[in-house]
Chains A and B, each alone.
Chain A
Amino acid sequence: MTNWRASAQTRTDAMNDHTVKAFSEQLEGLSSSIAQMGGLAEAQFAAAVDAIARRDTVLAENAVGGDKRIDQLQIDIEDRAMKLLALRQPMAVDLRETLAAIKIASELERIGDLAKNIAKRAIVLNREPPMRLTASLARMGKQALAQLKQVLDAYSDRNAVAAEAVWKQDGEIDETYNSLFRELLTYMMEDPRTIGSSTHLLFIAKNIERSGDHATNIAEVVYHMVRADHLSNNRPKADTTSETSIPFESKA
């Protein structure tokens, strides 16, 4: 009897609760592909940010090329999720997992695109003289990367608390972005020769900030998937650059 109870527990843990074993396998395969796609997005984003910090053009070119695999995986995941919806008509947590897979795949695909764009700009930046602020950008990139890692861990572990923590932390990236934004504008005013590079840095900063937002979107999806409930709408937003202007002070 004791043995029976113990093994019943194992059985629930192993997600084999469906009568049709293939269904469980398909659902699990979907999760596993999402994790794999997340890994690719992480690696691509890390490479792009690293390429700026280390002025490494080869790394940047690799990061640009890596986006194709992410796109391919997204199409694959969407097809499989669609087939699952059509053939199995999942309910409750299964339905949420399937929908979460579709949503997270598209968020990850966007992050991949942003990373690709960052890498492209890194190639341009490396042809110009070095800028001091690239170190701050790399730090901001790390912040976003940490968010992405945490939210993907939360997805793999089905941990709503961890997802909520990611969702709350997004303000920190926004604040770094505000600080960089102001600093870059000041730079451009002081020395018009840096306008070219500074503009690229500005777009890179914006891309990193957007990636952070996508990580928070994933956090919302994960939370909903686990808890069947929505995180409230008032996310801590601290990006104020859309209202920032810096008066021009003539040096003459």
Chain B
Amino acid sequence: MNSTDTYWTAVARFLWPALVGLAAGIALAIWQGAQTAWIVAGIALLVALLVAYLAHQGRLFLAEQAAEIGDKSSAFLTPVARATLAWLPDPLMLLDQGGRVLFANTAMYNVIGVPPENKQVSMLLRTPVVLEAVSHTAATGESVAVEYITPVPVQRHYQAHTATLKVQPPVTMLLLHDLTAIKRTEQMRADFVANASHELRTPLAAVSGFIDTLKGHARDDAQARDRFLDIMSVEAGRMRRLIEDLLSLTRIELNEHVRPSGVVQIDRIVRETFAALSPLARTDNITLELCAPDGVPAVAGERDELIQLFQNLIHNAIKYGRDGGHVWVTLKPAPGAGGRGSASMLCVQVKDDGEGIPQDAVPRLTERFYRVDVKRSREKGGTGLGLAIVKHIVNRHQGRLTIESKAGEGSTFTIFLPLARAEAPADAAVT
């Protein structure tokens, strides 16, 4: 509701009885011509004006009360304390005894994604252990520390500390400490070893097998030697690509929970990737087409990762496209596709007219080392990690990846990326 409107409608509502009274009085005076009628009109006008004035005052009184409530929420903080808390890198919230947010700093605002002003804490952080800790501290005054995990959209580990600040009235403090980076490093080490050793075993077995053969009966067979060396070089190349992909996947995953800090022009990145892959498309006899309007808004993102993302997608489209087929890359805004706290997104579509992907394989495409057709993927030199990398980059950018495919008609990979939002208010405190 517009506050200016509210004000004038309020005035209008209380003024119309005055006008009606006046009109009635004047009408009566003209009709009767008597002096008493003029007096009646005057009295009616006065009474109506008085009512309007009182109502207006009443409104003012209510409004002042509201202003008081608003001010009370963070009035106990001195400007210095307030600025310090707002700047604190760890998410922090101050709550009143009823669990209502009095103050939240910028880091907390970033965790929640919506302005926390005056809301109940359970509307913002639903995790049961945290709510329990808050109510326990509010009731007993004891400090509590609990660890918890938020599993989606990206798994995060937090430690929550609650404590009572002994002021009048008492204030409960909730401080979060992000443990994600530490936990991830632990997990990543285990996963990397398991995945890498499994996938590297096959090419390694081939290479060492051929080495044995070359040492043995193929030692003097020049023709066989050349053929074996070719195969060995292909297998070694596969191992190299695998290791490169694994390393970049690990790097991206480690940073997946860190919001990208840069602001990038997507159309420029898409154009660059497009140009870089054009020669490849020509050799594979595929026509690349780009449709990107001018003046696309910027998105928040990491340049190198986004380049890798589009490289993987367009390269896939070329690899698995039909011979003599087309690949279309389209860039367009997608308003209203955002999640919590972000309204508009940018959408990049990579569409091919290849043979498509079986419906039951679509949901598993972004799994690590999942291949629709193992033999074909090996032939084309795929590592089974391309789309996993894409998914993790998209996750990190808080975007979305959708895959649509129809057998015989081709596949469409669509990436939604949130637009770079105007900076979160430096001081996300409640006013």
Contact = CB atoms under 8 A, between A and B. Distances in A.
Given A5-B4, A32-B122, A136 B340 contact: no
A8 B66 contact: yes
Nearest to A15: B118
Given A35-B126, A152-B126, A157-B114, A7 B363 contact: no
A93 to B, nearest CB: 13
B161 to A, nearest CB: 19
Interface string A153-181: 11011010110010000001001101100
A242 B152 CA distance: 29
A252 interface: no
A8 B6 contact: yes
Contacts of A68: none
Contact of A172 (B128, B336, B338, B363): B363
Contacts of B128: 36, 39-40, 43
A40 B129 CA distance: 9
Contact of B340 (A5, A36, A42, A162): A162
Given A32-B120, A39-B128, A40-B128, A179 B360 contact: yes
A100 B341 CA distance: 22
- Counting contact residues on chain B (CB < 8 A from A), the size range is 35 or more
Interface in B303-333: none
Nearest to A168: B337
Contact of A7 (B70, B123, B149, B338): B70
A14 interface: yes
Contacts of A150: 339-340
Given A165-B337, A176-B363, A13 B126 contact: no
Interface in A27-50: 28, 31-33, 35-36, 38-40, 42-43, 46, 50
B340 A157 contact: yes
A50 to B, nearest CB: 8
A179 B361 contact: yes
A13 B122 contact: no
B1 interface: yes
A243 to B, nearest CB: 13
Contacts of A31: 120, 123
Contact of B127 (A43, A156, A161, A176): A43
Identify which of B3, B131, B362 gathers the most chain A CB atoms within 10 Å of its CB.
B3
Nearest to B340: A153
Contacts of B119: 156
A35 B152 contact: no
Contacts of A182: 360
Interface in A126-156: 136, 139, 142, 145-146, 149-150, 152-154, 156
B63 interface: yes
A156 to B, nearest CB: 4
B67 A7 contact: yes
Contacts of B359: 175, 178-179
A67 to B, nearest CB: 13
Nearest to A149: B152
A17 to B, nearest CB: 9
A178 B359 CA distance: 9
Contacts of B90: none
Interface in A47-89: 50
Nearest to A11: B66
B360 A7 contact: no
B67 A3 contact: yes
9 contacts: A6-B67, A14-B69, A31-B120, A36-B131, A43-B129, A46-B151, A146-B153, A175-B363, A182-B360
Interface of B: 1, 3-4, 6-7, 59-60, 62-64, 66-67, 69-70, 99, 113-114, 117-120, 122-124, 126-129, 131, 149, 151-153, 336-340, 359-364, 367, 431
Given A42-B126, A145-B152, 18 more contacts: A6-B3, A7-B63, A8-B7, A11-B62, A14-B70, A16-B66, A33-B122, A35-B123, A36-B128, A38-B126, A39-B128, A43-B128, A150-B339, A153-B340, A156-B124, A175-B363, A178-B359, A179-B361
